[in-house]
Amino acid sequence: QVGRAALMLIGRIAAGDPSAFAGAIRLSAKPDVMRVRVGMDHRMLFRLLPECVQLLALINRRDLDKTIASI
């Protein structure tokens, strides 16, 4: 269920749907990386590149700090 929601969201982001960016937040530690909520307990980290959207991680929110440090 979380994977399905993440795929739908990344598709909307890649298509340029403005409503898909409503919950997206730039990370202060890594300004080129954005985070968006997927479900209650999961976060998706991605990077917007000129020609594509790079999906970095789909993680549980408790692992967020550890994952950001490793990017």
pLDDT tens digits, one per residue of 10-66: 999 999 899 988 889 999 989 999 999 998 999 999 999 999 999 999 999 999 999
pTM, to two decimals:
0.86
The per-residue pLDDT for range 55-65, each reduced to its tens digit, is 999 999 999 99
CA 18 to chain centre: 15
Vertex 46: Cα angle to 40 and 47 (nearest 5): 155
Which sign, positive or negative, has the C-alpha torsion 67, 2, 38, 14? positive
The amino acid occupying position 15 is A
